[in-house]
Amino acid sequence: MTGHVVALCGGVGGAKLAHGLTMALPPDELSIIVNTGDDFTHLGLHIAPDLDSVIYALAGLSDPVRGWGRRDETWTFMHALQGMGGENWFRLGDGDLAMHVERSWRLAQGAKMSEVTAHLCQQLGIAVRVLPMSDDPVRTRVLTSDGWLDFQEYFVHRQCRPVVREFEFAGAETARAQPAALAALERRDLRAIVICPSNPFVSVEPILAVPEIRAAIGRSDAPVVAVTPIIGGKAIKGPAAKMMLELGLDVSGAAVARRYAGIIDGFVIDETDSIPQPLPDITFFGAATLMNSTDDRLRLAHAVLHAADTLRGISAVA
Amino acid sequence: MTGHVVALCGGVGGAKLAHGLTMALPPDELSIIVNTGDDFTHLGLHIAPDLDSVIYALAGLSDPVRGWGRRDETWTFMHALQGMGGENWFRLGDGDLAMHVERSWRLAQGAKMSEVTAHLCQQLGIAVRVLPMSDDPVRTRVLTSDGWLDFQEYFVHRQCRPVVREFEFAGAETARAQPAALAALERRDLRAIVICPSNPFVSVEPILAVPEIRAAIGRSDAPVVAVTPIIGGKAIKGPAAKMMLELGLDVSGAAVARRYAGIIDGFVIDETDSIPQPLPDITFFGAATLMNSTDDRLRLAHAVLHAADTLRGISAVA
């Protein structure tokens, strides 16, 4: 089966499946729409953590051990910055800084985020389209037991310790979808929309909060398939499970699926979890969703595409 | 003898004598006025090479081998930047970047260059006052065989290869002297004004091009003593000798002294050079001006102060 695939993607976990999809598909059959809600400005630098995670994963530059940032990283900048009393709660690797400095400089020259991203991808040999959800600023904020916090303040500085109550995506209501991202969602040959195994609250929902993106997904005939970020009641990485608990949700793939009700047609849970109670309009699929190796990424990509193609078959029959 | 000493200083060579003076004098008896004419903006970062050289020298952070930048430097940023096709003609060390990022960020928040410098010095344990010549931008430009070039374009990118004809210090005419620098030059207890062994054309003359600074030096009763940057017909470092040749000057301490005629009262040449023909109003002194060790720096500082105090004695007698 051919046709265009659009993946919605947050940081590290989502980037792994995005990488799998790049291995499974020709470059012109895939567009990756990336969350920019956790972008922020730090020390005057524009930092886009999810875009960086995706770019590093696709360029083969991710650190395989630390789980974030660049491989072969050094930390001389941070040591020097600490030595001069600078802000050190957000760790900036020396190689990672090249991304932030180059991006910030190009943005300051008037380039759009999508243009900078396209340039960096081209330089790093990434053939697939990596698209920020919007060229307009959207900023995720978290209502916590300590009040409203900017996302990185909550996520990095306070290490997700405050109890979360609510999220907002400042600017999303008026943000325009990045035009190529919107065009990809509106393609007539759209094969599938994939929601990567990213944090639903702070990675996927900021993308869905951009009205044109949500509307385009709603209008699309293509199957929408999400992949669970929860395995065996735990998040593979990050605060998704802690957030679900604090929001009074079950910590399960099924609860994530319910969160996406009305948006998705299919949901891939981990093969080690039991198939949940059926949900109206959501078909469950089982697959090995833990991605430790490159092979795992490719295998999951194929499983997700197979789920989507199956749904299309079901829909064609119905 | 006591009293306040003001040193005018460019980059690496000047910074060594400035360091010697900090060892020879109590912190409150020394102010160091630093050239900012070779400051520039690169990749959106405000880079102040001479201030950095002075700060690194005084904080014990200078690289002892390379001759510029920070000790224990790493280059991961540059490698990563090259990997994404970024501008790589100006080498930015990972530790050095902390200075540029922290300074740029503080300037962008509205701090003055002198405030940022004072903050960084305080953080790095530098007790003496390090003062940019001006908080206003002054930019050294070089008329060369390739036309007018910004200083770093000439100095770093083209590695001083074009033949120099003329210099200009854009903005100097309207730049205000940094107030504490001006106040130091106007102190009633001024013991000496020291012109460090820096490049006369692109390190010292930009400072002298700030009208209030030049006027304050002219009005001062304190002896003004310069130290040769030329030993045995060669510059210890940098393009000073090449520039002198290209401008049709002798490459000698005496020629530098003549360049400073009307400004200085004394000139320290290297002890291995012969004492030049006498010049009206300039007294020559001999000293070991090559500073390979910390002891050399202190010894030269004492020699310069001794020369100044001798001139004051001559003047008191006359």
Order across the sheet with A147-150: list the strands. A147-150, A139-144, A164-170
- Checking if the pLDDT of B70 tops 70, the result is yes
Inter-chain CB proximity A44 and B77 less than 8 Å: no
The pLDDT value given to residue A297: 97
Estimate the crossing angle of helix A76-83 against helix A94-108, to 10 degrees.
80
The pLDDT value given to residue B123: 97
> CB-based contact (8 Å) between B111 and chain A?
no
Chain A (28-87) residues lying within 8 Å, Cβ to Cβ, of chain B: 43-45, 70, 72-74, 76-81, 83-86
Compare CB distances from B123 to A84, A94, A108 and report the shortest one's residue.
A84
% of chain B at pLDDT higher than 90? 91
Work out the minimum CA distance from A271 to partner chain B, whole angstroms: 39
The pLDDT value given to residue B263: 97
CA distances to A127, A161, B157, B235 from B91, in Å: 29, 40, 10, 23
**How far is Cα B251 from Cα B228, in angstroms, rounded to an integer?**
11
**How far is Cα A250 from Cα A244, in angstroms, rounded to an integer?**
7
Of the CA atoms within 13 Å of residue A275, those in its CB half-sphere come to 9
The pLDDT value given to residue A176: 98
Cβ-count burial of B91 within 10 angstroms (0-12 exposed, 13-18 middle, 19+ buried)?
A: middle
Instruction: Please answer whether residues A44 and A87 qualify as being in contact, where contact means their C-beta atoms are separated by less than 8 angstroms.
Output: no
| Chain A residues near residue B70 by CB distance under 8 angstroms | 80
The pLDDT value given to residue B232: 94
Work out the minimum CA distance from B83 to partner chain A, whole angstroms: 7
Domains within chain B, CATH numbers bracketed: 4-39+130-317 (3.40.50.10680)
Work out the minimum CA distance from A269 to partner chain B, whole angstroms: 37
Minimal-distance CA residue of chain B relative to A81? B98
The pLDDT value given to residue A156: 92
Nearest to A92 by CA among A122, A52, A139: A52
- Which residues have a Cβ under 8 Å from the Cβ of A301 and sit 6 or more positions away? A17, A20, A21, A23, A24, A25
The structure's pTM equals: 0.94
Q: Which two tokens stand for residue A15?
A: 């980037």
| Chain B residues near residue A117 by CB distance under 8 angstroms | none
Nearest to A200 by CA among A9, A7, A5: A9
Q: Which ipTM score applies to this complex?
A: 0.93
Q: Which two tokens stand for residue A314?
A: 């079901």
Q: How many CB atoms lie within 10 A of CB B145?
A: 11
Compare CB distances from A76 to B45, B73, B83 and report the shortest one's residue.
B73
Inter-chain CB proximity A98 and B80 less than 8 Å: yes
**How far is Cα B169 from Cα B181, in angstroms, rounded to an integer?**
19
| Chain B residues near residue A120 by CB distance under 8 angstroms | 84
The pLDDT value given to residue B233: 92
- Checking if the pLDDT of B67 tops 90, the result is no
Please identify every stretch of chain A with a pLDDT value under 50, giving residue numbers as ranges.
none
Compare CB distances from A74 to B74, B86, B108 and report the shortest one's residue.
B74
What type of residue sits at position A299? R
**How far is Cα A77 from Cα B275, in angstroms, rounded to an integer?**
47
pLDDT tens profile A134-189:
999 999 999 999 999 999 999 999 999 999 999 999 999 999 999 999 999 999 99
**How far is Cα A40 from Cα B173, in angstroms, rounded to an integer?**
40
| Chain B residues near residue A124 by CB distance under 8 angstroms | 83-84
Identify the bridge partners of residue B47 per DSSP, sorted by sequence position: B40
DSSP string, B257-279: HHHTTTT-SEEEEETTSPPPPPB
Q: Which two tokens stand for residue B123?
A: 């953080």
% of chain B at pLDDT higher than 70? 99
3-state helix, strand, coil in chain B (%, to 5): 40, 20, 35
Nearest to A86 by CA among B12, B97, B181, B204: B97
Q: What does pLDDT average to over chain B?
A: 95
The pLDDT value given to residue B317: 60
**How far is Cα B81 from Cα B89, in angstroms, rounded to an integer?**
11
Residue predicted with more confidence, B64 or B102: B102
Residue predicted with more confidence, B64 or B172: B172
Identify the bridge partners of residue A223 per DSSP, sorted by sequence position: none
Q: Which two tokens stand for residue A39?
A: 């972008």
- Checking if the pLDDT of B318 tops 80, the result is no
pLDDT tens profile B255-301:
999 999 999 999 999 999 998 888 889 999 999 999 999 999 999 99
| Chain A residues near residue B97 by CB distance under 8 angstroms | 77, 80, 94, 97, 101
| Chain B residues near residue A97 by CB distance under 8 angstroms | 77, 80, 94, 97, 101
**Strand A266-270 and strand B30-34: pairing?**
unpaired
